[in-house]
Structure 1
Amino acid sequence: MARTDPPAPRWKSLSLPFQLPTWLAMLVGLLIAGPVLFALAKASTNWTGGEVKILQTVSFSLLYVFGMHFREPQQLMPRSTTTRIFIMFLWLYTIILTTAYNSNLTAFLTVVQAPSSMETVKELHGSGAEVSGLGGFFKGALASAVDPYLQALAERFKAYNELNVVWPNVQSGDSVYLHNRQFLEFVITTQFTRKGVSSMRIMKECFAPYNIAMALQRNSPLKRKFDKAIRWMLESGLIRRWFLESLRLSRKAKEQKDAPEDTSAGGEAEQSPSSGVIPLSIDHMQGAFFVIVFGNVFALLVFLVESCCRKGARKEEEEKEKKEEKELGWSSRMSKKKKKEKMMMTAAHA
């Protein structure tokens, strides 16, 4: 038994419909489509003699392709056949991507994404967590195993005499607890489950599977009848059903003991989500709010950078104008001086 890791933040739901390689492939396609559109528009102008002039700029071509990825209607229609064919297949590509994204986004917004956790003995060995249990029985079982990872876990095994000392370590994630599955399911259901959400879980890999048998006297004539009855109960699922029913009753009894006045309200609260459609709250939509906040902050930073660049350019223009004025003033003074000298030379000659 190990701690259930907290779910992934809701704002990550916007990126979960696609895997990371898919996002990278879409980004590469977005960056390539803009220059390709620009190159086709430029080539069509040179070869066929006519294309929309604004498409012959890299900035507008990138903006045009970016809008197509967000299904933004583009009123500008290319003139050349080559560019139109490229735009047609680009529209088909973006429609498929956006439809797939929108279909998966609804599911990821309403369903909590569970993080990846250790489920095997090898992952448990690599985590470095303490292995705990009641008494030293499981330590001997781990040490006698053939698997080297189980033998290494025997060195980290720590025996306890009371369960109340073990649970805080397991809840903090510093330790895992070894016991049979039925007991662990009972403990999780009765002690670590609140409103249908469990803070503990059972790892998938079992290091020592075993069976439970009923002992009878040797050569007993009842053995075949008992075997037949037990097989019927196993195949029909009665044993599992009775066990789950006992877990439900135990959890209900514990809830009534802990909070008898809130039993009816709690039961209605647990059934309300499954009775109809779940409305999306701010917690579900926090990714969208993060996007708008990030966009506003980014736009503000770009505005500040543009203002600084504009001030620098304006300052350079002013300095250039002053320099030109000085040069003009110096040249005018020089021309006046030369004119005066010329007049003096003419007077002296006369």
Structure 2
Amino acid sequence: MNPTPVVLAAISVYVVSASPPPVLRDAISSIRPADSGDVGLILQGVPGTSDAQNVSLSSAFHPATGILCRRRRSLPEGGSRFSQEDLEGDVADMFYDVVTQHLPGCHKMILYGTGRNSLAGRVARALGEAAFVWAMETFLASSAPPASVLRHPHHLAEGSYCLAVLMLADLQAVGAATRLTQRGDWFQGADKMVLAYTGHGLLLEDVSQDPILVHAFRVAPKISLGSTDPHRSTHLPQDFQGHTFSIVTMKYAPFSCYDKLPDGGVSLHDCVDTRMLNAMASLLNFTYTVREPEDGHWGYKLEDGNYTGVIGAVQRYEADFSLNVAFTGDRERVIDYTVGYFNDPLTFCTTKPRPLNQALALVKPFQPQVWLGFAVVLVLMGPLYFFSCRLEDQKGEGEENGGERGARTRLEEQASQSARWSVGNGPRMLVATWIIFSLVTLTSYVAMLTASFTLPTLSPTLNSLEELVESNFAWGIQDQGAADYQLLMTSKVPLYQQVFQGLDMCPSLDECLLRARDSRYAFITWRLYMEDRIAIRFTTAAGERQLHVAATDFFPSEIGWATNPGCPFRHVFNRQIRRLLEAGLISKWLKEIINDPKRREADSQASGPSSASPVDGPKSLGLNQLQGVFYILMLGCAAAALAFLLEMGIAASK
């Protein structure tokens, strides 16, 4: 009778922080550099059992990030179990193989649970070098020391500072210790490699006791145990094996755009995040479903420390990850972010500046000093013409232009086309100069008057928060529990506190923009999000905006995807996002989508005609532009009436 092959133990190795040592990168092609804070599992074991068919073993970390080491041994003939010493020896040998082959330049720390004292000693002896040995309960209950325990890299390290954490405990303790290793203060700055031996086969119902572990199992492929090779390193699949991710998001054009479906899901449109998601899904072999959060919020912090909306769904493992969200320090305490791929600051928009009253439009083409110069020239031209004619008369040229004509007569000649002008060269030169001066002045006046009618002087605009809070404008944000609300609510800056206290919420993006356009209301939101909607819905075909966007920004924020705390595949997404950034694809897609005329057409079909005013032809002059002429006419009529009454009074007195 042939001996029955039995899996004695299996160990999974996962890179937990910034960059593994070169020896690990060179030795295991399936292990990739992970980002600081990524957490992985599991080193798992199957104690001696004669029923290989009942063994259920899965990788609890994302494929392409780990290595599965397996040891198998055949039961002796007639035997049904191995001795405890044999089991501990096999586990110790497995740890030794993995650590010495792939992590020789890392410090070693052994965490052992209840009843694993003997196994911890066996592993420590097998390593053959100094190692930190902690009881798991003590480690979980202790605080990190104020100074780093490890001050120098391992003597075999090539300049890196790494730590191999060997866990010998049950599944619950492994989950707690892994979380503490990842997000706690222990060994900050080290590249942490977590190896864990649970001592039994890992079934999904067992893993479900810990949210981080169950999430890792949910995206991991099943590993076949068909080989009988006593020592084997199996490279895991390099993709997600068709796994379906659950994604949560909100509308945020031009990054995430969609239509709601009757079943509660959403159908994505062509936007930046959609293109990113499809490119990564094709490369990494996964599918996805997308939905909105039930409360319709992006997510802000509640008093109990939990979050609403998109952030809350990711925090509670109700979704695998989200599309674009703004990075904030408060959110980073409960979720993990991918690398950012766009910076979008907060700003605000207000009503378009209005033309000022044009009652003085007729005098605005020239400054007061110019008008004063015109008056002086007009007054002096009569006497100059008079004296030039007198000089000509004294030379005997043109007796009829004799000296009996006074300055009043010369002024009348300048104003009358039927008057007989002097035939002398001097007066002619003076008149010619006057005509040229008048022609240039008139041309300049007409040009400036036309320009002032075409581009009238506008009312002052608001371009900073300081100006906004000092104005008589109301202000507010869109009521969707987003990062702008969280940032203003938690800020200690007096200006931002004043802005938060005066917030007047509005329900939707279009309603907020309409209110800002038609009233004294400032709408505060993210710049690109606002400008994209203004370009589609509040801009004429001639490119004229219907709102004024402030020139200054505040609260600059990076945009990226949110993943579960301790997400085991975050670094895989990070690597792909970096590739898209380095290739310039995200910038290219953003420009294409923003400038796509089909989006405006589709919006018009879905929402009706644009809210922007239609393009008109040349505008006729109205009373607003020509009111100054009527004021002059009324002043002239009033002066004439006053002169008439004065003459009547003088005549009556005689």
Q: TM-score with structure 1 length normalisation?
A: 0.60
Which residue number corresponds to residue 646 of structure 2?
309
> Relative contact order, CA 8 A, sep 6+: which one is greater?
1
Question: Comparing both structures, which one devotes a greater share of its residues to helix?
Answer: 1
1:206-258 CA-to-partner distances (Å, cap 9, x unmatched) read 223344346851796545532223x2552x5x4133124375145413443xx
Q: Contact between 2:474 and 2:520, CA under 8 Å: does it hold in 1? A: yes
| Structure 2: distance between partners of 1:185 and 1:83 | 64
How big is each residue's C-alpha offset from its partner over 1:135-159, in whole Å with a ceiling of 9 and x where there is no partner?
5334258644xxxxxx435324334
Contact 2:350 2:522 in 1 (8 A): yes
Give the greater-gyration-radius structure (CA).
Answer: 2
Aligned positions of 1:227-238 closer than 5 A: 227-229=581-583, 231-234=584-587, 236=588, 238=589
Shift of 1:179: 0.7
User: Higher strand share goes to which structure?
Assistant: 2
| 1:151-205 superposed Cα distances (whole Å, 9 cap, x missing partner) | 4353243345543696787456544221102332355457666887755331122
Aligned residue in 1 for 2:355: 7
Name the structure 1 match of 2:26. none
Runs of 5+ unmatched residues, structure 1: 145-150, 318-350
| Cα distance change of structure 1 residues 26 and 3 upon mapping to structure 2, 3 Å threshold | same
Residue 614 of structure 2 is aligned to residue 226 of structure 1 = no
2:488 equivalent in structure 1: 139
Output the CA distance in 2 between the equivalents of 1:152 and 1:287: 39
Mean alpha-carbon deviation: is it higher for 216-225 or for 2-11? 216-225
Q: Do the aligned partners of 2:385 and 2:430 also contact (CA within 8 Å) in 1?
A: no
- Alpha-carbon shift at residue 315 of structure 1 (Å): 1.5
**Closer, same or farther in 2 for the Cα pair 1:107/1:59, shift >3 Å?**
same
Does the 8 A contact of 2:351 with 2:518 survive in 1?
yes
What is the CA–CA distance in structure 2 between the aligned matches of 1:113 and 1:59, rounded to whole Å? 42
Tell me the residue number matched to 1:239: 590
CA contact (8 A) 1:55 1:61 kept: no
8 Å contact kept, 2:354–2:459: yes
2:555 to 199, 208, 224: 208
1:316/1:160 CA distance change after superposition, 3 Å: closer
CA distance in 1 between partners of 2:462 and 2:402 (Å): 57
Matches within 5 A, 1:253-272: 253-256=605-608, 270=614
Checking the alignment, whether the CA contact within 8 Å between 1:118 and 1:203 is kept in structure 2 is yes
SS at match of 1:307: helix
**2: CA distance, partners of 1:101 / 1:179:** 44
User: Does residue 36 in structure 1 map to residue 386 in structure 2?
Assistant: no
2:650 alignment partner AA: A
- Answering whether residue 374 of structure 2 is matched by residue 25 of structure 1, we say no
More deviation, 116-125/307-316: 116-125
Distance in structure 1 (CA, Å) of the matches to 2:383 and 2:457: 43
Tell me the distance in 2 between the aligned counterparts of 1:241 and 1:55.
Answer: 78
User: Would the alpha carbon gap of residues 239 and 141 (structure 1) be closer, same or farther in structure 2, given more than 3 Å must change?
Assistant: farther
Q: CA deviation at 1:36?
A: 1.8
Distance 2:539 2:574 in 1: 44
Matches within 5 A, 1:321-336: none
Task: Please tell me whether residue 154 in structure 1 is matched to residue 497 in structure 2.
Answer: yes
Task: Give the match for residue 531 of structure 2.
Answer: 185
Q: Aligned partners of 2:473, 2:631: CA distance in 1, in Å?
A: 38
* 8 Å Cα contact 1:170/1:176 also seen in 2: yes
Q: Is the 8 A contact 1:52 1:79 kept in 2?
A: no
Measure the CA separation in 2 of the matches of 1:45 and 1:88: 14
1:107-129 CA-to-partner distances (Å, cap 9, x unmatched) read 55456664432234453344253
Query: Distance between the aligned counterparts of 2:628 and 2:453, measured in 1?
Result: 15
Q: Aligned equivalents of 1:311 and 1:78: distance in 2? A: 38
Give distance in 2, aligned partners of 1:155 and 1:240: 36
Instruction: Using the aligned pairs only, state the percent identity.
Output: 11
Q: Which residue of 1 aligns with 2:604?
A: 252
After superposition, the C-alpha distances for 1:31-81 in whole angstroms (9 at most, x for unaligned) are 1112322332344466554567697325863994xx6xxxx9686545565
Q: Secondary structure at the match of 1:212?
A: strand
The answer to whether residue 406 in structure 2 is matched with residue 56 in structure 1 is yes
Distance in 2 (alpha carbons) for counterparts of 1:63 and 1:126: 59
CA 1:248 to 1:297, structure 2 compared with 1: closer, same or farther past 3 Å? same
CA gap of 1:190–1:313, structure 2 versus 1, over 3 A, is: same
Q: Which runs of 5+ in 2 are unaligned?
A: 1-348, 395-400, 563-569
Deviates more, 1:181-190 or 1:48-57: 48-57
Letter in 1 for 2:579: K
Letter in 2 for 1:253: Q
Q: 1:137 to 1:41 in 2, by over 3 A?
A: same
What is the distance in 1 between the residues matched to 2:468 and 2:418? 54
Output the amino acid matched with 1:203: A
Q: Distance in 1 between matches of 2:585 and 2:467?
A: 37
Q: 1:199, 1:104 → 2: CA distance?
A: 26
Instruction: Classify the secondary structure of the residue corresponding to 2:367.
Output: helix
Whole-angstrom distance in 2 between the partners of 1:205 and 1:59: 63
CA contact (8 A) 2:389 2:422 kept: no
Pairing 1:105-184 to 2, within 5 Å after superposition = 105-110=449-454, 114-133=458-477, 134=479, 136-139=485-488, 143-144=492-493, 151-152=494-495, 154-157=497-500, 158-160=502-504, 162-163=506-507, 170=516, 173-184=519-530
CA distance in 2, matches of 1:183, 1:59: 71
Distance of aligned partners of 1:137 and 1:87 in 2 relative to their CA distance in 1, 3 Å threshold? farther
Does residue 217 of structure 1 match 2:556? no
Whether the aligned pair in 1 keeps the contact of 2:361 and 2:626 (CA below 8 Å) is no
Matching residue's letter, 1:208: F
Note if contact 2:475-2:521 (Cα within 8 Å) is conserved in structure 1: yes
Give yes or no for contact 1:129–1:174 (8 Å, CA) kept in 2: yes
